[in-house]
Amino acid sequence: SAPAGFKRLAAAVVAVAAGGLVLLGLASYLVSVEVARDAVTAAVRAVTGLQPSVRGASTDFTFVLTDLRTRQSVEHRAKFNGPGE
């Protein structure tokens, strides 16, 4: 019947969504920080022509963009106190 078919379809959709969330969670443990940082650096460099770098701890850091042609840098200081702050 139609209601039973919709229930099965809903169960399948929920199962696929849950599986996707599990895979997303596992990916954060499987991809190293260095690989992710290098990928972001390469993407910023490719799009903007600037060389990004981060200096300092993860809670109080300076983000620096350097123009590779002129060697001029722009610094942005940031402070991260944790979630919800």
Confidence of residue 8 (pLDDT cuts 50, 70, 90): very high
Residue-wise pLDDT tens digits, 26-80: 887 887 777 877 887 788 888 877 777 766 555 566 667 777 777 777 776 666 5
Helix, strand, coil content of the chain in percent (nearest 5): 55, 25, 20
pTM (2 d.p.):
0.43
> CA–CA separation, 79 vs 34, rounded Å?
21
Tokens of 18: 């849950």
In whole angstroms, what is the distance from residue 66 CA to residue 57 CA?
Answer: 20
pLDDT computed for residue 16 by the predictor:
97
User: C-alpha angle 24/27/33, rounded to 5°?
Assistant: 130
